[in-house]
Structure 1
Amino acid sequence: MNIRHPAPQDLPGIYHVCLATGDAGADATTLHQNPDLLGHVYAGAYAVRHPEHGFVVADELGIAGYVLAVPDTRAFESWQEAEWYPPLRAQYPWTDADTPDGRLIRLLHAPERRAAGALDRWPAHLHIDLLPRLQGRGLGRELISRALDGLRAEGVRGLHLAVDSRNTGGQAFYPRVGLTRQPDETDPGVILFTVDLA
């Protein structure tokens, strides 16, 4: 088992893991005609912009999990607007299609934003996903610990992450690694977990 910072050659594997866990923790492969869209929205930009705050887990079958974090959500969103989204918006024009792919395309044009108050206290955020073959082995805890240690060493005061309300496994896991569930009024389908780092 190899845990390391993500490199450019890891992006296909990261996108695969994102898709294979993209239905509230379950495999979303059959839900999407375009297998890249979930990765474009939820994974690729993190690995490209802040590889120093991410870790991938690789085994003999390839990339099987990751944690991808950013230390400053507002700065990351500004970078996305300048660098990440423009070519994707050109490639995927706005659509009103009420399909899984259509909803992801709209997120490329109108990204989700966390409430300002939450970002003041918990400016960092992360995404973590593990394929089933790695689950239950303590790797999720290890990845979270490494990400939080790196953010703490950089002086980041706090971190948040948003969890799909259908993802009961995630909701059970995050309190066990020190995160606290918060009320989130911006989206009833999302549960906010946070941790103070300072």
Structure 2
Amino acid sequence: MPAPVIRPYRPEDRGAVFDICMRTAEAGGDARGSYRDQDLLPNIFAAPYTELEPDLAFVLDGGAGPVGYVLGTSDTPRFVREFRRTWLPVVADRHPLPAGEPTTPDEVMTALLHRPERMLVPEVADYPAHLHIDLLPDYQGRGHGRALLTELFAALAGAGAARVHLAMVTANTAARAFYDRMGFHEIPVADPGPLTYLGRATS
């Protein structure tokens, strides 16, 4: 098998990226059995980045297509505005806002989709860029995550973003150990819910 290579995202990667997103969305594990709508999480956490920030979307190609990806934005406030203005209208009919208080996993995540302003966390304002990274299990622990982040950091720095943050599920201790090795530090947030916020410089 050829060694995996990092390359820019292509439109034909969409299906693989959606699959990777679902197979790693349950605190790093497989979320496909937890959600009825298999496009919902990718339409929140993957597709808007490939559509709105294609220059900051990279995949790890295992030879037969993507086996991991890193996606980001250099300017979270701008991204939130574009998410509401141009992305949400594309997917709102596919994922209508639930009536009343969300009660199922799908309804909880759909409510997040319709509230992109949740990404505007005051405590991380000094870290204007943010990112999402996911790798299939067979490709974890082999240096590919570090290589993907290094690629994105360079692109973010080139786009003028000096600092980047991410939000991770606190229960995902393996991911936290990885981010610690990558030089991220915790950013205290007043009401983080089930998330931990981490940040670092892009160079």
Short-chain TM bin: over 0.9
Higher share of residues assigned helix: 1
Question: Could you say what secondary structure the match of 1:91 adopts?
Answer: coil
Q: Following TM superposition, where does structure 1 have runs of at least 4 consecutive aligned residues deviating by more than 3 angstroms?
A: none
Q: Which TM-score applies when normalising by structure 1?
A: 0.94
Name the counterpart of 1:40. Answer: 43
CA distance in 1, matches of 2:65, 2:54: 18
Name the counterpart of 2:122. Answer: 116
On the 8 A contact 2:16/2:67 being kept in 1, the answer is: yes
Name the counterpart of 2:87. Answer: 84
Structure 1 segments unaligned to the other structure (5+ residues): none
Number of aligned pairs? Answer: 197
CA distance in 2, matches of 1:10, 1:109: 25
Name the counterpart of 1:100. Answer: 105
**2:132 is aligned with 1:127:** yes
Name the counterpart of 1:52. Answer: 55
Question: Could you say what secondary structure the match of 2:112 adopts?
Answer: helix
Name the counterpart of 2:168. Answer: 163
Q: Give aligned-pair identity as a percent.
A: 34
1:140-170 deviation digits (Å, cap 9, x = unpaired): 0000111011111222121100010111111
Superposed displacement of residue 43, structure 1: 0.6
C-alpha RMSD of the superposition:
1.4
Question: Could you say what secondary structure the match of 1:29 adopts?
Answer: coil
Superposed displacement of residue 97, structure 1: 4.0
On the 8 A contact 2:187/2:197 being kept in 1, the answer is: yes
Q: Which TM-score applies when normalising by structure 2?
A: 0.92
On the 8 A contact 1:4/1:56 being kept in 2, the answer is: yes
Structure 2 segments unaligned to the other structure (5+ residues): none
Superposed displacement of residue 61, structure 1: 4.2
On the 8 A contact 1:15/1:39 being kept in 2, the answer is: yes
CA distance in 2, matches of 1:27, 1:117: 30
